Amino acid sequence: MSGPIMSTPGTAQTSSPMWFSSARTNVGHVRKANEDSFLDAREQGLWVVADGMGGHSRGDRASQSVIESLQSFSATRNPKKDLEKIIEQLDQANELCRKESAGKGSMGSTVAALYAYSTSAYVIWAGDSRIYRYRDPDFIQLTDDHSLVQELYRLGELEDDDLDNHPSSNVITRAVGVHDTLETQVRQISVQPGDRYLLCSDGLFKDVTSAQLKQRLVQSGPDQAVEALMTQALRRGGTDNITAIVVQIPAAAAGPWPPS
């Protein structure tokens, strides 16, 4: 049986001038160790989920390397340079994982990061950890999984119904530490008051449907939403480590919009 839903110390729901956020992780009901890691750095406008691969000790280390590489990030007033810095720090995590895994087998981690500034944000990812956005009434996935089955789907070789049950559904094509050069995907998006974002590892969306994610995400606040999402995943089996971060812009933003 898994332990209680946990959050990293210092990640209880608080607010910045723009953002509210809350984060949780749980080992689930099946795994013996939690290979997920996360960063809730709302003061810098940065949130990150990393899901380690390569066995529990090496997966732990890989996902922690991703988070450690970004803990020193400090936002400036130049978002393009900030984006370059985030990617540079992820490249450093990639190099570290490659060095530590040399001759010892695979060691890697997915990454899904949201960096927000003023009325825009960058979505940065590699692997199959995901970022969703709820903008009433729409709930959409902002990331595309970097996985073998998604590549086959894009090529028209698989149908929607085949994705979850395909024998290669866990094969990831991009991740930190998998290749000598890390290939991240970046998407720039607009940000509006009332937006709510969900960053999560596959342990959440594998057991919880998109409709259920949306239903739980729109709870009264980020902390309540995270709690509802984690509870739902555990009730549906908790077959993997589960990590979720919910980020929100208040519907009635304090002061002028965009904030100065």
**The pLDDT of residue 142 is above 90:** yes
Q: What letter represents residue 260's amino acid?
A: S
Taking the C-alpha atoms of residue 137 and residue 18, their distance in angstroms, rounded to an integer, is 21
The pLDDT assigned to 10 comes to 32
**The pLDDT of residue 145 is above 60:** yes
Q: What is the pTM of this model?
A: 0.88
Label residue 167 by pLDDT band (50, 70, 90): low
What is the fold of 14-248? Phosphatase 2c; domain 1 (3.60.40)
Taking the C-alpha atoms of residue 163 and residue 42, their distance in angstroms, rounded to an integer, is 34
pLDDT tens, 87-141? Answer: 999 999 999 999 998 877 779 999 999 999 989 999 999 999 999 999 999 999 9
The pLDDT assigned to 252 comes to 61
Q: What letter represents residue 36's amino acid?
A: D
For the record, the structure tokens of 7 come out as 């959050």
For the record, the structure tokens of 8 come out as 């990293």
Q: Among residues of the chain, what percentage have pLDDT more than 70? A: 80
Label residue 18 by pLDDT band (50, 70, 90): confident
